[in-house]
Chains A and B, each alone.
Chain A
Amino acid sequence: MHSQTRGLIAVAGLAVCAGLWLTPTGAARQPQTPVADAPPAAVDAIPDDARSPRNANYSIDVRLDPDTRTLTGRAVLTWRNIATVAAPDLRFHLYYNAWRNSRSTWMRERELGRGPGLASRPEADWGWIEVTAVRLLGDAGAQDLTDRLRFISPDDNNPDDRTVLSVPMPTAVAPGDTVNIEIEWSSRVPRTFARTGAIGDFFFIAQWFPKIGVLEDTGWNCHQFHASTEFFSDYGVYDVRITVPTGWVLGATGIREQPRDNTDGTTTHRYVQEDVHDFAWTTSPDFLDLSERFEVAGLPPVEMRLLLQPEHAGQAGRHFGATRATLQHYGQWFGPYPYEQITIIDPAWQSGAGGMEYPTLFTAGARWLAPSDVSQPEGVTMHEAGHQFWYGVVGNNEFEHAWLDEGLNTFSTARALAASFTPNHIARRYFGGFYPFVFRDIAWSRATDGNRLAGYRTAARMDAQQTPTYRYWPGTASAITYNKTALWLHTLERHLGWDQVREILSVFYERWQFRHPRPEDFFAVANEVSGRDLSWYFDQVHGGTQTFDYAVQQVSSRGLRDRGFIDGDREPAFRDPIDDRGLTRTTVTVRRLGDGIFPVDVLVVFDDGETVRERWDGREPWRVFTYERAARAVRVEVDPDRVLLLDVDYANNSWTAAPRAGAAATKWMLRWMVWLQDLMLTYAFLV
């Protein structure tokens, strides 16, 4: 923690009687154990050199009872209204209530996209959060607001959803005003539903406290929890004290302070972090606690802490290496990682907590059998470490524009992975998904595998990207969010060049760090940096559901056979043929099969080795190129450099006079037949 900030944390000094613990509303109440005698200290001032607005600051005490899987917490939120409108109420996310019952919006949407599997879980798996008291702290004392609490459902009016809590204020909070709110709550940690929860002695605790929404000039932006979207919060300072059994290893957002052992067999860990918009933590008695330092010339050093599952002890280097590569590449391409530390969590098997990002902390995802030439755990580690930049530092609204972090990060991850790890192969797992078999004939490709073209291809028209993310069809939301963005960014890279795209991302990162950019902010930076109006492109890839598909429709190379009357000396004379210079007329017809428009090159290769490259603006439904020369066309390709990675059918982009489809089909037929024969023999073993 910076010493300057230390001085800016003041004690609110408002004693709260133990008897003020109030009865929770709704579900059965868990036994309460006060986590502290007095409310936590409040963060109530902002230094001049703060990197973020720091308008949502939390001071939290929380205690975990692993046996009952309950959290008991108490927080003081210091919130400043930085919008231009007054706030008649405060709105809080209560994410754990998404798993309170099957009537929540999250559960309904999840069922819509992936079926009803989760709803059949046993009672012990479900989780909830109960706010037991809310008080407005002021000079005159604490004003109890608990009776005013009500649940609202601004997105879908679902009366059974309890993921947004409204706290009407006695007096609207005027722009620029600051309020201190004390909140007490208890919750039951679920068996993981959405990468937060517990299994055995492994706890990954995220979205766990009542978290205030974002007040914008148009009002509250505090969405219900949706199945296919993540989060949105304001930046602030977090000072969190977490009490867990003594001996358990704990990792959290922020910088570790000295832990304190209590007399009841517990230890209180303290973590403090400035300029973040969320706080997550994990604890388990089983973690291996390892550290390494990231040091690369030109970038600030970072302490890397790895909490590793013992069965992955041999993969520590892979986790550190992937994190190091991310900090280096992202730092050099976009801008430096601004925090002093980063914590990598290797989640327990079956925890369902893998592959998730939180400020200065993320979960990776390793397997026990992990071939060295397959990018697991590197891929997920780099993706989540990359979110420290896209999500952590540049804090977009993931409810509405998830592509701004997930898409930019998928693109960046693929680029960094390609730059860091080779060879990288495809693998499949057999025997219950445990045993990996590596296909060393198949190299992982940044363009198609890293950008996840296969997933996009089948979902290309499902939603326009500009639709608020929480309104995407749940079953294909990730393809539109992650895959499509990565593909259109990589297409832009191939169209404009990496230097320009790197500059766009770098300026966007620098300009919007610790703020909440919107899509138009990204597009504005792209237009400004490239010096071009790219709206024709963004209108298609972001604004619509257009798909891109260019194809070679037909190619013919024939000797000139023009016949007919041409001007003679005195009268038209019939010629057959008109021209017999031995020339060949080659006609190439290319076609735009999709409704998306993108300029493409057309390459024609002749049998004398000569090549012709044409430029087609791609606007018309079709275009014909004609050549008269002594050579015949042997190959034609539309978009031969594969600039347009969004092309949903690249196989139809080319034509060759000597197709090898027959040879290829025979080869794979023979391979497949051996598989079929083996299958027959496998079952013949039984008779």
Chain B
Amino acid sequence: MLRILQFLYSLRSFLLFVLLEVLAIWLIVANNSPQGAAFFNSSTAVIGSVLNTQSEVVGFFSLAEANEALLAENAQLSEELKILRLAPDSIQIHLDSAFAATFEFTGARIISNSLRFAQNHITLNKGEKDGIKPGMGIFNEEGVVGRVKSVSSNYAVAISLLNTGLLISSKIKSNDAFGSINWDGKSSRQAKMLYVPRHVTALVGDTVVTSGFNAVFPEGIPIGIISSVNQTGDPNYLDILVDLTTDFSKVRYVYLVENTQVNEQDSLYLQSEIQDEF
């Protein structure tokens, strides 16, 4: 018995090494499920405030660009508002629940972003106090950005679209064929569109938008433009490459969207025994 203990003692640094590596692997695995419990990340108060200060300093230099983007979006919104605003002599009809507002929007600023890894994350400067919840969709005026993973009271961490673990339900705008957008970990400007059957005619130049099926994003938020369609690889599905419309190296101000009826939809799925398939 003593000799076993002596033997183990002589191996103590190797054993400690193995223990630490197992701990690290456990952390990686526990932290990698898209909605998993992330308990220790950049949404922690101290680290969040450091990143916030850094982004404020860096952000000062891109204020002009941010202003321009806001101006462009304001112009577009006021154009749309002109159509929606009722003329004084028109009749007002109450619409049914199909058209009731199911989505709520909030704005936030990105304080930390990465795009060079296979699993990229984004930190936002708003958290639980501002009504941010895990699972909310993130987009900006250019297109889809990601999805919130976990929140603390002042900050939130999101999975970027540039993360091989994130699938976004999407469709080709011209013919409504739906599939899933998934990043392949290669270029930060391109992603793959999966599960589009071979009979669908997908053309280079077609726009890909969110489908609104997974109750995270409303329908019609741009994602990208098809840059190549191939019939190689999988015998059932097309191999579609999409140029992302969002420039992830420049994204700073984003909108968060929450589906207020997601609980109702989820409980309905549960009732009819449908798993979330996206």
A binds B: no
